[in-house]
Amino acid sequence: MKFNIALLAGDGIGPEVTEQAVKTLDAIADVYNHTFKFNKALVGACAIDETGDPLPEDTIKLCQESDAVLFGAIGHPKYDNDPSAKVRPEQGLLKLRKSLGLFCNIRPVKAYERLIENSPLKKEIISGTDISIYRELTGGIYFGDKHISEDGQVASDGCSYSVEEITRIAHLAFKEAQNRRKKLTLVDKANVLETSRLWRKTVTEIAKEYEDVELDFLFVDNAAMQMILNPSQFDVILTENLFGDIISDEASVIGGSIGLLASASIGSTVGMFEPIHGSFPQATGKNIANPLASILSAAMMLRHLDLHKEADAIEKAVEKSLELGITTGDINPKKPYSTTKVGDFIADYI
Amino acid sequence: MKFNIALLAGDGIGPEVTEQAVKTLDAIADVYNHTFKFNKALVGACAIDETGDPLPEDTIKLCQESDAVLFGAIGHPKYDNDPSAKVRPEQGLLKLRKSLGLFCNIRPVKAYERLIENSPLKKEIISGTDISIYRELTGGIYFGDKHISEDGQVASDGCSYSVEEITRIAHLAFKEAQNRRKKLTLVDKANVLETSRLWRKTVTEIAKEYEDVELDFLFVDNAAMQMILNPSQFDVILTENLFGDIISDEASVIGGSIGLLASASIGSTVGMFEPIHGSFPQATGKNIANPLASILSAAMMLRHLDLHKEADAIEKAVEKSLELGITTGDINPKKPYSTTKVGDFIADYI
Ligand SMILES: CC(C)[C@H](C(=O)O)[C@@H](O)C(=O)O
Ligand SMILES: CC(C)[C@H](C(=O)O)[C@@H](O)C(=O)O
């Protein structure tokens, strides 16, 4: 089969790791007789540098015409500490999510037995952890009205959610729970926020259609504690945009392997697949960044394109690299392999 | 000296643990020749049950006329899963914070060497952790306009901050940093939120008055990771209301001793002192709840009243109880002492 893949490598280590995912997909294409046509486009700080716009129209158009989007990372420190910057790389990412209707961000968090020693948490705490986080991605305070008073004295951000926005992602999360351990935890702050109360009410209503799924609720502050105290209690977590940002990043480090975590953003027809880690400016160009998360994002993409055998092949190759210790310094500080070497191994193995 | 202390024991285990703090303060009064006059008042679910109001006017008045407020905990499960409840215990707490002008919540998080084995994190990760979290407590999305559309389809919460609100707590946090390791970390989401950008700008400006303090910035999602990966990197953390809620609860479990963490809320003249843990409904009335956080809140209160010797005496007694293992089951599951026994020991020791 033939697929058009939009390649948005972005900033920092984005291009280096995405290159390994491309290498991997090329190997898959050879073995399984597919054609992946990769079309590059700009997003983030590099797009600002070249065009003044963190998300040029061409990029949106390319993505819309593609079968899937493979994303690297965005962000550059020169924008982070400049609160008055008018254009920021992140705007590109947010606009992309909105333009492509990617309202559902899925992050699997798993404690790989082989990496468990790398975790800051004790082995007995994380052992068996296998969570799927469903984060709403195109609503909430991220996309509310922003305002700063003329005298610069008062700033505000609006947060709103509609029943419709909650409903569409809730169904996806309940279905995921049905395919897993049949437990769904809604994370909110319903004791304080009106939007959270609407989440709780709507999700409670929808739960009636999924009687085999057990629904429970956790305030976000408590969830932040439980994630450390007892992460294996969670199956599927459903939450709004900002809480999802915080909780999923927190969850990502407990397995000891943030360099291995991939994510999918779906909603409309075209899905976007990306590593959880950011642009990691300090490592840029050094050939030391872990490409496995990007490679596993490619596997998630294949699964979304219904190429399950192919996705399995990538995941098996990743397991093998872990088993043999052919990994970058974040996992294997004593005998680190370079980014490209890890990519080569994965491609060869396939 | 003579002090009027408003006693707001609240719900769940609140009354049981507060009773031990009172016992402790009575012992202090004896030894150091003070008089503490305790005046009880209602707040939370118990206040709703008795008066229909989670914060009766009498309670506010009593607090305003007192030298300090000792607070237990609030919250009852019967309200949590009822998104349509018109009156909730939490409203009492939020209104109390606002009425008393308690804009600054201070939470010390320390890894007690003696309890380090109880932590879900590895010893080498948390060893040496000593953080002071400054959370803004009377602004942000907690107190913004809340709205639900007439047809119930759209809910919204407003979040706003003014330079003035940011400035007054920032000065307190910088001063705290000067008395400690001279590092201040502002936690925000300035890559997305307008309010966060105002925080970053204002705090950067104020930093010029505290040249001996090193200021850095962390996005809240990254902070949630760093808190687990390397908590000992933090000295003073400054953040807005909602992020402070999440990050401080997350931080509270890394030391392995949430039953020991106290907090102070200050701003206007009268301060309020309370344990970090909640009302813990499952343990209510069983005489098993850990009273040390409430007892240490009393110590924080004494320090705020400039009774440093007296505060030291309480802290020493707590250390002793840990050393001897005279603690409740959360710390010492093999040989648990009851809530009242721990309180008796502390009072006797003093
Ligand atoms: C870069 C930033 C805007 C983004 C977010 O907050 O959504 C990132 O943290 C993420 O989680 O993808
Ligand atoms: C009970 C709740 C409203 C409160 C808050 O969110 O502020 C609590 O979590 C806290 O941190 O004191």
Concatenate the DSSP letters of all residues of A74-126 into one string. ---HHHHT-TT-SS-HHHHHHHHHHHTT--EEEEEEE--GGGGGGSSB-HHHH
Quick one: which of B130, B112, B201, B188 has its CA closest to B162?
A: B201
Mutate to test the pocket of ligand 1, among B188, B189, B191 (most ligand atoms within 8 A of CB): B191
Is residue A151 within 8 angstroms of chain B, CB to CB?
A: no
Q: For residue B127, count other CB atoms closer than 10 A to its CB.
A: 14
- Tens of pLDDT, residue by residue over B143-198, are 999 999 999 999 999 999 999 999 999 999 999 999 999 999 999 999 899 999 99
The arithmetic mean of pLDDT across residues B92-113, rounded, is 94
| Separation of alpha carbons A255 and A117, rounded Å | 9
Sign of the CA dihedral with B99 first, then B100, B104, and B107 last = negative
- Tens of pLDDT, residue by residue over A290-305, are 999 999 999 999 999 9
CATH of A104-260, one of 3.40.718.10, 3.30.1330.10, 1.10.10.10, 3.90.245.10: 3.40.718.10
What pLDDT, on the 0 to 100 scale, is given for residue B56? 96
| Separation of alpha carbons A6 and A73, rounded Å | 14
Concatenate the DSSP letters of all residues of A13-76 into one string. THHHHHHHHHHHHHHHHHHHT-EEEEEE---THHHHHHHS-SS-HHHHHHHHTSSEEEEEE---
Chain B neighbours among A 238-277 (CB < 8 Å)? 242-243, 245-250, 252-254, 258
Q: Which residue of A has its CA nearest to B148?
A: A194
**How big is the A-B interface in CB pairs under 8 Å?**
199
Question: pLDDT-derived band of residue A99, with 50, 70 and 90 as boundaries?
Answer: very high
Mean residue pLDDT of chain A comes to 95
**Is A104-260 in the same CATH topology as A1-102+268-350?**
yes
Furthest C-alpha separation in chain B? 63
Top-confidence residue, A89 or A147:
A147
End-to-end CA distance of chain A: 18
**Atom of ligand 2 at shortest distance to CA of B241?**
7
Angle of the A14-32 helix axis to the A339-349 helix axis, nearest 10:
10
Beta bridge partners of A133: A107, A237
| pTM, to two decimals | 0.95
What pLDDT, on the 0 to 100 scale, is given for residue A258? 86
Chain B neighbours among A 86-105 (CB < 8 Å)? 88, 90, 94
- Tens of pLDDT, residue by residue over A172-221, are 999 999 999 999 999 999 989 999 999 999 999 999 999 999 999 999 99
Is the pLDDT assigned to residue A81 strictly greater than 80? no
Q: For residue B81, count other CB atoms closer than 10 A to its CB.
A: 12
- Nearest Cα of chain B lies from the Cα of A98 at a distance, in angstroms, of 14
Q: Which residues of B are annotated as a binding site for substrate?
A: 97, 107, 135, 221
Phi, psi of B31 (to 5 degrees): -70, -40
Q: Does the beta carbon of A90 lie inside 6 Å of ligand 1? A: yes
The residues of B annotated as belonging to the active site are: 142, 189, 221, 245, 249
Tokens of residue B304, six digits: 């705020």
A249 is in an annotated binding site: yes
Strands across the sheet containing A146-148:
A146-148, A154-162, B154-162, B146-148
CATH of B105-260, one of 3.90.550.10, 3.40.718.10, 3.20.20.450, 3.30.420.40: 3.40.718.10
The arithmetic mean of pLDDT across residues A6-31, rounded, is 97
A82 is in an annotated binding site: no
Beta bridge partners of A146: A157
Is residue A35 within 8 angstroms of chain B, CB to CB?
A: no
- Nearest Cα of chain B lies from the Cα of A190 at a distance, in angstroms, of 7
What pLDDT, on the 0 to 100 scale, is given for residue A111? 87
Residue A334 burial (C-beta neighbours within 10 Å; 0-12, 13-18, 19+) = exposed
Report how far ligand 1's centroid is from the alpha carbon of A248 (Å): 11
Is the pLDDT assigned to residue B80 strictly greater than 80? no
The closest residue, in CA terms, to atom 11 on ligand 2 is B245
Q: SS3 of A335, please?
A: coil
Is the pLDDT assigned to residue B258 strictly greater than 70? yes
Is the pLDDT assigned to residue A225 strictly greater than 70? yes
Q: Are strands A104-110 and A183-188 parallel, antiparallel or unpaired?
A: unpaired
| Separation of alpha carbons A65 and B234, rounded Å | 46
Top-confidence residue, A60 or B332:
A60
Tokens of residue A330, six digits: 């974040």
Mean residue pLDDT of chain B comes to 95
Q: For residue B93, count other CB atoms closer than 10 A to its CB.
A: 24
Question: pLDDT-derived band of residue A77, with 50, 70 and 90 as boundaries?
Answer: confident
Cβ contact, residue pair A159, B158, below 8 Å:
yes
Question: pLDDT-derived band of residue A85, with 50, 70 and 90 as boundaries?
Answer: confident
Strands across the sheet containing B35-40:
B35-40, B2-10, B68-73, B271-275, B262-266, B104-110, B130-136, B236-239, B183-188, B214-219
Is the pLDDT assigned to residue B96 strictly greater than 90? yes
Is the pLDDT assigned to residue B275 strictly greater than 80? yes
Report percent pLDDT > 90 for chain A.
88
Tokens of residue B341, six digits: 């026994």
- Nearest Cα of chain B lies from the Cα of A176 at a distance, in angstroms, of 23
Concatenate the DSSP letters of all residues of A131-169 into one string. EEEEEE-SSGGGSS-EEE-TTS-EEEEEEEEEHHHHHHH
Question: pLDDT-derived band of residue B7, with 50, 70 and 90 as boundaries?
Answer: very high
**What is residue A341's DSSP assignment?**
H
What pLDDT, on the 0 to 100 scale, is given for residue A83? 62
Domain segments of chain B as ranges: 1-102+268-350, 105-260
- Nearest Cα of chain B lies from the Cα of A96 at a distance, in angstroms, of 14
Cβ contact, residue pair B198, A146, below 8 Å:
no
Beta bridge partners of B273: B70, B264
Quick one: which of B226, B4, B166, B296 has its CA closest to A155?
A: B166
The arithmetic mean of pLDDT across residues A259-284, rounded, is 93
The closest residue, in CA terms, to atom 10 on ligand 1 is A245
Q: SS3 of B3, please?
A: strand
The residues of A annotated as belonging to the active site are: 142, 189, 221, 245, 249
For A3, B36, B125, the CA distances from A147, given in Å and listed in that order, are: 42, 48, 40
Report how far ligand 1's centroid is from the alpha carbon of B328 (Å): 41
The closest residue, in CA terms, to atom 8 on ligand 2 is B245
The residues near A49 (Cβ < 8 Å, ≥ 6 apart) are none
Residue B228 burial (C-beta neighbours within 10 Å; 0-12, 13-18, 19+) = buried
What pLDDT, on the 0 to 100 scale, is given for residue B83? 62
Angle of the B57-64 helix axis to the B89-99 helix axis, nearest 10:
40
Report percent pLDDT > 70 for chain B.
99
**What is residue B116's DSSP assignment?**
G
For A6, A16, A119, A227, the CA distances from A293, given in Å and listed in that order, are: 18, 12, 17, 21
- Tens of pLDDT, residue by residue over B43-54, are 999 999 999 999
Is the pLDDT assigned to residue B81 strictly greater than 80? no
- The CA-based angle B200-B265-B127, given to 5 degrees, is 75
Chain A CB contacts of B245 below 8 Å: 189, 220-221
The arithmetic mean of pLDDT across residues B137-142, rounded, is 98
Is the pLDDT assigned to residue B95 strictly greater than 90? yes
Report how far ligand 2's centroid is from the alpha carbon of B260 (Å): 17
Is the pLDDT assigned to residue B72 strictly greater than 70? yes
- The CA-based angle A128-A117-B252, given to 5 degrees, is 75
- Tens of pLDDT, residue by residue over A152-176, are 999 999 999 999 999 999 999 999 9
Which CATH code is given to the segment(s) A1-102+268-350? 3.40.718.10
| Separation of alpha carbons A227 and B129, rounded Å | 20
